[in-house]
Amino acid sequence: MKSFEEDTILNYIEEHRNYAIKVLDKLVRARTVNPPGNEIEAAKVVIEELDAMNLPYQIFEKEKGRTNIITQYGEGSPSVMILSHLDVVPEGEGWEYPPFEVTLKDGKLYGRGTVDDKGSMASALLVLKAFKELGVEISGSFIVAGVADEERGSTYGVRYLLEEKLIKADYILVAEAMNGNIEIAEKGSAGGRLVSKGKQAHGSMPEKGINAIIKMAKLLAKLEEFKFTYKPDPLLGGPTLNVGVIKGGVAGNVVPPSCEAQLDIRIVPGMDKDTVKKDLEDFISKLKQEDSEINIEVDIPRSVPATSIPPDSPFIKALSEVVTDVTGRKPETFGIGGISVAKFFILQNMEAPVFSLGDESLDHMANEYITIEDLVNNAKVFALLPHRLAKLKSS
């Protein structure tokens, strides 16, 4: 085994960029539109490349054809995983290029999945090829995972792999295009509903009943004044609340006995289903002082906590340092209101930032592309990451 020479690895990657382009083309040609997913098609491409490199791998399927593939180079610790997903969203309309093959134009590689997320798998395979062919000894171990079903809830992908304890690493890079920045915080969510209870009566005698819709409307009209109790988070800001669906009534000539409003609440650290419920109940009881007929229950059955990684953790430091060296630009760390697969790992105490070079706004669009530069630079970042992390940890 040769020791890890950064320049040698970087030169190899530079000289073998066509390999990553060729593999990306094969991955894009493998139809893995989800639904139905059929990730086996992309996994076959990965298997073909790993076989050619003589690297072992493991296959996991919750259902036939919904393939997850994991391979590893090196045995030591810490383990760093590059996580890429094999499924893509449907091509949709408006393509100037064939969606299921790679078209190269002006340094851009067009095709469904190029930036989201097959490009990162092509880059990771180039790294494995560099390690293997150069015969280098790396610090720790380098794991590459291609997972299923990211675009539709990860039932057959990360959630299944975590439930069955099939996937594990000290550090996981969720390799999704983030414009070269590092996503380290995600809001949590609390879904639920408000249920207004009234009293049914004949529509010609509304005074004999209590109109559950009108009572709900009184609350909803005031909702813009409602505030959760919380401490603002530096990356996530504050919580949000959306009323997405309202249902109520049985017929035009009946005073409605009930009305329901469905809520989507995004929460920040310190909040959970109980704090959300209490805040809403307090607000409703104040309203009751103005109208004692208001009878609205708050039903928040579950919540998923907000998650974050310390921006000064060794992994984020190493990643930031490597990205700066490779691209000449220091990445920013930021938080999002949505939820990615990173959250599932963080909730199981694995550090999982989301990062790759590539234009995030092209995700799910027609004429999606990744530049050759980003494809190659992602490989360089992935390759240097375990080495720099080990150095940082031992210094």
The site for Zn ion (CB under 5 A) is made up of 116-117, 176
Closest CA to 352 of 115, 161, 75: 161
Nearer to Zn ion, 214 or 370 (CB): 370
User: Contact at 8 Å (CB) between 174 and 144?
Assistant: no
Nearer to Zn ion, 25 or 176 (CB): 176
Nearer to Zn ion, 117 or 186 (CB): 117
Spatial strand order in the sheet of 333-336: 307-308, 182-186, 333-336
The CB-of-83 to Zn ion minimum distance in angstroms stands at 10
The CB-of-135 to Zn ion minimum distance in angstroms stands at 33
Q: What are the beta bridge partners of residue 267? A: 188
Question: What gap in Å lies between CA 307 and CA 185, rounded to an integer?
Answer: 6
DSSP secondary structure, 172-225, as one string: EEE----TT-EEEEE-EEEEEEEEEE-B-EETT-GGGSB-HHHHHHHHHHHGGG
Nearer to Zn ion, 29 or 152 (CB): 152
The CB-of-6 to Zn ion minimum distance in angstroms stands at 29
User: Contact at 8 Å (CB) between 276 and 230?
Assistant: no
Question: What gap in Å lies between CA 224 and CA 294, rounded to an integer?
Answer: 18
Q: What are the beta bridge partners of residue 371? A: 108
Nearer to Zn ion, 183 or 233 (CB): 183
Nearer to Zn ion, 126 or 178 (CB): 178
Nearer to Zn ion, 117 or 149 (CB): 117
User: Contact at 8 Å (CB) between 362 and 369?
Assistant: yes
The CB-of-161 to Zn ion minimum distance in angstroms stands at 16
Nearer to Zn ion, 233 or 374 (CB): 374
The CB-of-363 to Zn ion minimum distance in angstroms stands at 6
Helix (H) / strand (E) containing 98: none
User: Contact at 8 Å (CB) between 330 and 320?
Assistant: yes
Burial 14-30, CB ≥16 within 10 A → b, else e: eebbebbbebbbbbbbb
The CB-of-318 to Zn ion minimum distance in angstroms stands at 23
The CB-of-384 to Zn ion minimum distance in angstroms stands at 23
User: Contact at 8 Å (CB) between 248 and 259?
Assistant: yes
The CB-of-174 to Zn ion minimum distance in angstroms stands at 9
